Structure formats: C-alpha cells, structure tokens
Structure 1
C-alpha cells in the first residue's frame, strides 16, 4: 500500500506537462516516478486527437487511460482501444459551413477517425500541423467524411471570441466551443469537455472526487480543474485561468508537475 493509492493526477499536455522547448522536463519525470511508486495514477487530458498524441504518450509514465480530443474520448494505450468515443452532431458540416461563410477569415480542421481534413488553411493551421507533425487533406467541408470527433477553428483571438458567441447563440445545446489556446477554438459535442471525461475516467478507476487533482494552462482545462481537490495551473497559464482562481505554480519549463507532487507529498 502506498500513500497515493486511490489518487488520480491529470495533466494537460501542451504548455503544462510538455514545455515550451517541446520536451517533458526531467523534474516532471522524477516527480512522477515518486508519485507512481506510491500507488498514484497519472494520466493526460489533452486537446490532441489519438493520431497527434500517440507519438508522445511514451514521454511520461502514463498509467491510466488518456482523455483525448478535448474531452471527446477516453483511450487506453495499454489495451490500445477507445473506452469512450463521442462525435459531433450529424448537422456539424452544415452548421460549421455556415460559420465559415459568416467568418471568411477562419481556418478549420475536422477530425474523422485517424484522418484530419482542413478547409481554408491559414498560417495558424500550418503552424499547428507542423507542431503535431502530421499530414492532412484539404477539401471543401461538404466533402469531408463524417462523423467528426471534433473540429478546430483558427484565427486571431478577437475574431474567435466573436465566432464563439455566434456559434453558441445559434446552437446552445449542440456544441462545446472552448479555447485550447488563444488562436484555437475547439468544437466538441455538447457536454463533452475535459471535466466530464475526467469525471467518467475517475468513476471507471474507482477514484473518489476528493482525490482528483488536475493541472492545465488554458480555458479548455477549467472544466477539469473545477473537479480538482486543488485546481493547479502553471505560471504560463492564460489570464482566464488566473482570473478563474487556479492555484498558480511554477512555469511549465520549470517542471510544474514537480511542484504538484511535492504539494501532494505534504498533503498525504
């Protein structure tokens, strides 16, 4: 029996566990080794899809299923299978075609299975695809195969704030529209966010609510931080996260998971 038996630690990936130099700091790895040795369960809740996260899962000692696509799915990398998979409404191509018509400066990615389809790519789309290191197919929205697990709308933050309001006003119970960073507006099925999927994962694992700890840097992490016994965020987090009231720790480059494990070592 270890002191972290029955404790679940969930981290966002980009700019939280994974730092600005595109690596997991050694301090994070050393802390996670201590956490797991005492019976803790560690996983990631990321906006990345299976295809764009799978090449990176080995970078940290993940020992629980992973929340993918901003809360659209739960994937067990040990069993190599989806435990939960959700999809956007069948009307998503028509709905998002309307968004793209209303906001012609937008770029868009749609995720179908392991494939990524892009309409009207812009400089943000290009940078995103280079970061995740994958290819994609450019085509009209109506020609993209369905169903979609999620979509990402891309443009400057001010434009995306308008898009977010436009979309949620017209389809208030059809979609989640939440920022994963200031130039990515993530679209998932209504009710599918990191908070909901972390709660489902904890139930699968038999983890009590008071033993869930979450850390993230952006608006899309707030739903899971709301579940956390102590909501943690790195110093590089978005202003929305600071304003929300997260417990701010060190910068992701300095190994924010190390800070959390040290706190938990005192707490338990």
Structure 2
C-alpha cells in the first residue's frame, strides 16, 4: 500500500490533465486513484487562479496544496488556507499601463483575490473568460485594486512576442513573462514560477528531487519540467517542449496522466 510513498506528482491542468472536450479522462482518474492508494502525493500546477480552478478541485483526487497562477500562489484547498503568496510588485499597474500604451490592442486580465478585472477587453479576453467560466469587471489598470497575483496579456501571438520582449527588456528583475498558450502571455512576479513553487512544495512535504515528477504542455511548464526527475509532456504539447527534450506521453484525451503513472509503476 506504499509503493509510491515519498513520491510527488505535479500536473498542469488544461490540455494535460483536463481536456476541453470531455474533461478529465476516466483513465486518468483510475490511475490517480491507484497512485494515491499506494501512498503517492498528487497536485495540480496551473496557470489558473484560485477562483477559476476552485470549481475543478473536486474533479480529481488531489492530496497536496495546489500551485496556482503559474507559481504565484500555493493554496491548500483541503485546509482552506494560503501556504505561499508571491504577488506582483506594486509597480505592476504603472508598468503594464506603459505596456498597454505601447501596444493599444492588448487586453490585460488581472487577478486580485477572488476578483477579475480586464483592461481593454478584446476577442481573446472574451474567449478566455468563457473558457475558465468567470465573471469580470472592465477597468483601467491604474484603477484596479492591488495586490495582483498575476496578469494575463492577450492578443495575436505576433503582438504578444513583441510585448514579451518589451517587458523583458525594461524590467527583467521584476517579472516572469511567459506563454501558457499562443495567445495568453502570463505575467507574474520575478521568481514566481511553477518550478520554483513545486520545489517549495516538495520541501514542505519532505519529497526528494529523485522522487519529484512534473508534467505539462506549454512554455509556462518548462520551469517545473526542469526540476522533475523525469520531465514529461503530453504528445499534444507545444513544439518548444518537444525540442527541449520532454518525454512524450499519450495525448491529453487519451490519458496522459494514466500513461505517466504506468511508467512510474514500472520505475518503482
């Protein structure tokens, strides 16, 4: 009953564990049930904020604090408490206003506690809030209450590449600016990453690096794949992860996590 005692598995949510069509594959649920019964610890490391992940917490058997907002927040849903909080610096409102002035077509979705605000709503922000099923308030960046856990900058991919370079060139010491998909550019505080937070969680749980495993499908997952004993990605992942050298699993709809747990079953 303790084959996976001391093992921590951290999975990205969207397009890795959870698929847009069909939700969480039943094979993933069955495999996770086995993993937990054998003493494993499982959590999600997602770009979603607390508000937009909370409705899904009970969709999967999670038995460790959850990494939210791309590593800006570690939250224990079972205990109802924040474990670690790494908000954006107070200069974020001024800095992102300058960015929005430089790139007027950008939509900027900001998370403050359980509230969501959007500066300059566009087609991409509308699509995103529908996907994560949240309400929101339109507001200029300067008027949004702080602190912010993260900001999601949204536009055509080509525009976002320019915006990413613009932010990195001006304030590399303040921000992580990384894609969670082609039209979502995530901005968190410097060092607030999935990789950094999964290492904090492993330390809190007493998990050794050799027993830490991570899986994800996009650029914002690379920091946690870099600290994983074996870096895993579903076959539907971004090309960047394939080029980086992630070990490829079955695509999300075919049960990426079930495939991963089968491999751990052979490893332990």
Aligned partner of residue 70 in structure 1, secondary structure: helix
Aligned partner of residue 263 in structure 1, secondary structure: helix
Match of 2:79 in 1: 79
CA distance in 2, matches of 1:179, 1:139: 23
Match of 1:247 in 2: 247
Match of 1:40 in 2: 40
Deviation of 1:105 (Å): 1.1
Uncovered stretches (5+) of structure 2, i.e. residues with no partner: none
Deviation of 1:22 (Å): 4.7
Match of 1:207 in 2: 207
CA distance in 2, matches of 1:181, 1:232: 17
CA distance in 2, matches of 1:20, 1:65: 24
**Is 1:167 aligned to residue 146 of structure 2?**
no
Aligned partner of residue 71 in structure 2, secondary structure: coil
Aligned partner of residue 43 in structure 1, secondary structure: strand
Deviation of 1:19 (Å): 1.1
Match of 1:231 in 2: 231
Uncovered stretches (5+) of structure 1, i.e. residues with no partner: none
CA distance in 2, matches of 1:220, 1:22: 23
**Is 1:2 aligned to residue 16 of structure 2?**
no
Match of 1:185 in 2: 185
Under a length normalisation based on structure 2, what TM-score does the superposition of the two structures give?
0.99
CA distance in 1, matches of 2:29, 2:22: 14
Post-superposition Cα deviations, 1:90-140, rounded to whole Å, max 9, x if no partner, equal: 110000000000001110011111101101011110011111111000011
- Is the CA contact 1:20–1:252 (under 8 Å) kept in the aligned structure 2? no
Runs (4+) of structure 1 moved beyond 6 Å?
A: none
RMSD: 0.7
Aligned partner of residue 89 in structure 1, secondary structure: coil
Match of 2:258 in 1: 258
Deviation of 1:20 (Å): 2.8
